Structure 1
C-alpha cells in the first residue's frame, strides 16, 4: 500500500466518508516539510510529510492548532489526523484556499490576534514541548516569566549554540545577558496564548479576506514576544499594528524587550543555518548589554 493510500484510508476513517483522491499536488513554501494537496470530487486536504521520527512534531502541531482554534479568534486550519506510513510521518489538516489581503484584512488580523492573546493560562509554558522551525522548543510550566524566558528560550538556544560550536564570544555575551534578564524584562506580563512563530510567511487570508495563521509553535507567554516576531522580518503593515494597539496597547518599554525577544529567533536561525545569524545575534546582545552598560 502506498503512503497516499494509507493517508486516504486514515482520512476516510476519521471523517466517516470514503475519500478516493487523485494524484497528490505538490505545494511549495516550506523548507522543513513536504507539503501536498490531496483531493477528490468532494474533499480537499492539506498534508505535510517528514521522517517517521518527526511524528511528535506533527502531533504537537495538531495540539497547537486545536488550542488556537479554541480561542475563537483568528482562523487556523483545523487538524484531522496524524500518523506514520512507509517510513514517513504526516499531518492532515483542513485545506484553506488563500487569496489576497487588504488593509482592512490586516486590521482584522491585528484585532483578532489581540483577542487570541486574551486567552490566558495560570503559568508560562504549554502542555508539551514542540518545535520552532526544526529545533526543539521546551515548554515546561513555569510561574515566573523571567525564569521561563531565561532558561527555556535564551538559555536553551545558547546551549544548542555551544553544542554546535558557535563561538566563545557568543557564549560570553550570552552568559552576561542571561544574568541581565531581570533588568531587561521589567514588567509583569500575563501568560497569553501565542502562535509562537508568527512571521509574515505564517499569516495569510482566505478567499473571504479573513486572516489565517498556520505552522504554529504554540505556548503561553508574553504577548509582546509575538508582536516582536511580527516585526522581525516585516510584512504585517501599519494597519495591523494600529488595530492591535487599539484593541490592547503594548506596555511601556516594549522597544527594548522586542530586541531581547527577537534574539531567541535569531539564535534559532544561527543554530539551524549558521552564517550571518551568529554575528547578528552577537550584535543584538551587545546592544542590549550596552543599554544596561554591562
Structure 2
C-alpha cells in the first residue's frame, strides 16, 4: 500500500466507505481504528479460503492493514429466483471442501465476538469447547446468565453426540445470516464479512440462514439436491443457533436472554 493511499485511509472515519480510483476501479474500505489485533487479517484470510473453495463469489481483497480492509466493490442489485438457486448449489460445493480437523489455523471473530478455532478431530468436542461453553461462561461472568442456564448448556454439550450426527469438518462461512449473502450489482449472491470462517459442521451454516429471516425455498432445494440430502437438518437448528444467540447475548445484552432460553427449551434442556 503506497503512502498516498494510506493517507486516504487515515482520513476516513470508522465505518464502511466506497472509493472510486482514478483508474476506474471501485473499492470498499472497512475502517476501524481500534480494531482488535488481527481482526481484518482474519477476515482477509477467510475471504481467501472461501474464494479457493469455488463456491459463492467473494470480493477480492486489495489490501489489509491493522485498522482497515480494502476490498472489491461488488455493487448492489436484486437477486432473481435463479440467482438464489445458483447460490444454494454454490454453498453446497463450498461445503464439499473438507479438512482433517475442525477449527482453523487461527482464531476468528463472529461479528465482534471472539471465536476460538482450536483444531480438533472431534466435532462434538469442538462445538462444545470452542463454541457453546466459552459463550455461556462469558455471559455468566458478566451476569447475563445464571448457574441454572450454565447447567443447561453443559447438559446440551454432554448430549451432542446423541443430538448431532457425525459430519466431516466442512469449510463454513461461520456467520451466515441473510445480511452476509450480498446481492451484487448483477444480482449474483456473494459472501461478505468472513471473519468467522472455519471448518465445522455444514448444517451450522444452514441453520443460521434461518435465524434472522430465511432465504427463498429454492436456495435450500438446490443445496439439498446438490449434496443428495433431505431437510432433516432443520430438526437440529436450535442446537446450532444456540451458539449465535449466546454470542448476540454477549454482544448486545439482555434482549437476547429470552431467545437463548427459548432455544434451550426447544433443545429440551431449558
TM above 0.5, one fold? yes
Residue 83 of structure 1 contacts residue 90 of structure 1 at CA under 8 Å; is this kept in 2? yes
Matched, 1:81 2:63: yes
Give the structure 2 partner of residue 245 of structure 1: 224
Q: 1:285 is matched with which residue: 233, 254, 264?
A: 264
Q: 1:191 is matched with which residue: 169, 174, 183?
A: 169
The SS at the match of 1:54 is coil
Residue 75 of structure 1 contacts residue 212 of structure 1 at CA under 8 Å; is this kept in 2? yes
Residue 105 of structure 1 contacts residue 205 of structure 1 at CA under 8 Å; is this kept in 2? no
Q: Which has the higher contact order (CA 8 A, sep 6+)?
A: 2
The SS at the match of 1:35 is strand
1:51, distance to aligned residue in structure 2 (A): 2.9
Alpha-carbon spacing, 1:164–1:145, altered in 2? closer, same or farther (3 Å) = same
CA RMSD of aligned residues (A): 2.3
Q: 1:202 is matched with which residue: 164, 175, 180?
A: 180
Mapping 1:8-27, distance limit 5 Å: 8-9=5-6
Alpha-carbon spacing, 1:268–1:201, altered in 2? closer, same or farther (3 Å) = same
1:54, distance to aligned residue in structure 2 (A): 2.1
Alpha-carbon spacing, 1:147–1:7, altered in 2? closer, same or farther (3 Å) = farther
Which string of whole-angstrom CA distances, capped at 9 and with x for unpartnered residues, describes residues 229-257 of structure 1?
00111241111111111111446752332
Residue 224 of structure 2 contacts residue 230 of structure 2 at CA under 8 Å; is this kept in 1? no
1:288, distance to aligned residue in structure 2 (A): 1.1
Matched, 1:40 2:8: no
Give the structure 1 partner of residue 160 of structure 2: 181
Residue 135 of structure 2 contacts residue 246 of structure 2 at CA under 8 Å; is this kept in 1? yes
Matched, 1:92 2:89: no
Greater Rg over alpha carbons, structure:
1
The SS at the match of 1:197 is coil
Q: 1:115 is matched with which residue: 83, 88, 93?
A: 93
Give the structure 2 partner of residue 234 of structure 1: 213
Q: Where does structure 1 differ by over 6 angstroms across 4 or more consecutive aligned residues? A: none
Residue 256 of structure 1 contacts residue 288 of structure 1 at CA under 8 Å; is this kept in 2? no
Q: 1:65 is matched with which residue: 5, 22, 47?
A: 47
Distance 1:210 1:237 in 2: 14
Distance 1:76 1:275 in 2: 34
TM-score when normalising by structure 2: 0.91
Matched, 1:261 2:247: no
Distance 2:214 2:232 in 1: 23
Judge which range, 246-255 or 35-44, deviates more.
246-255
Give the structure 2 partner of residue 170 of structure 1: 149
Alpha-carbon spacing, 1:55–1:95, altered in 2? closer, same or farther (3 Å) = farther
Residue 129 of structure 1 contacts residue 138 of structure 1 at CA under 8 Å; is this kept in 2? yes
Distance 1:116 1:178 in 2: 27
The SS at the match of 2:237 is helix
Distance 2:80 2:248 in 1: 30
Gaps of 5+ in 1: 11-19, 27-32
TM-score when normalising by structure 1: 0.84
Distance 2:74 2:133 in 1: 37
Gaps of 5+ in 2: none
1:153, distance to aligned residue in structure 2 (A): 0.5
Matched, 1:51 2:48: no
Distance 1:166 1:279 in 2: 11
Residue 157 of structure 1 contacts residue 267 of structure 1 at CA under 8 Å; is this kept in 2? yes
Which string of whole-angstrom CA distances, capped at 9 and with x for unpartnered residues, describes residues 161-196 of structure 1?
1122113132232222222222212x1101111111
